[in-house]
């Protein structure tokens, strides 16, 4: 549940950030670019997550999520170091943006701790496959 909640929050943040990219500070934009091109981009499937977040509200999320999971699950899992580096890049580069939004350092530390704790299990669950004609299926 925490993994799913984290993914939904991440997708919402990515989507809203993509829609108002110009309102982010230059250092935050650079931090985002670092995550999008760094090691976490592959193991978290960041490009696919952006596609999920950018799906129009009147369109189904099934295909974008299936595509994201298929490509992400084909990659090796992230290490805790990779996850921590990605979060650190964002929290450092976006500190003023996060503070303006009322997100404290303590909140981000909690998020980091939860992600490191729940990512391995969440990934295993998300990447379970039940063969079907349409690809990944959840049960």
List, for residues 16-63, the tens digit of each pLDDT value: 445 466 788 999 999 989 988 999 999 988 888 888 888 888 999 999
Q: Does this model's pTM top 0.75?
A: no
Q: What is the 3-state secondary structure (H, E, C) of 56-109?
A: CCCCCCHHHHHHHHHHHHCCCCCCHHHHHHHHHHHHHHCHHHHHHCCCCHHHHH
Neighbours of 32 (CB within 10 A): 20
Calculate what percentage of the chain has a pLDDT beyond 70: 78
Answer whether residue 112 shows pLDDT above 90.
no
* N- to C-terminal Cα separation, the chain: 14
In this prediction, residue 49 carries a pLDDT of 85
The distance from CA 49 to its chain's CA centroid, rounded to whole angstroms, is 6
Q: Which residue has the higher pLDDT, 82 or 131?
A: 82
Tell me the pLDDT band of 67, cut-offs 50, 70 and 90: very high
């Amino acid at each position: 549940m925490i993994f799913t909640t984290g993914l939904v929050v991440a997708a919402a943040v990515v989507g809203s950030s993509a829609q108002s990219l110009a309102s982010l500070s230059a250092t935050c934009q650079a931090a985002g670019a670092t995550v999008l091109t760094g090691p976490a981009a592959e193991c978290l499937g960041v490009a696919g997550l952006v596609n999920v977040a950018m799906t129009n509200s009147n369109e189904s999320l099934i295909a974008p999520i299936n595509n994201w999971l298929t490509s992400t699950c084909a990659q090796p899992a992230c290490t805790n170091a990779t996850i921590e580096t990605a979060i650190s890049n964002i929290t450092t580069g976006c500190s003023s943006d996060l503070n303006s939004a009322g997100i404290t350092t303590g909140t981000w530390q909690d998020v980091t701790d939860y992600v490191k704790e729940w990512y391995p299990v969440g990934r295993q669950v998300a990447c379970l496959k039940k063969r079907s004609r349409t690809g990944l299926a959840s049960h």
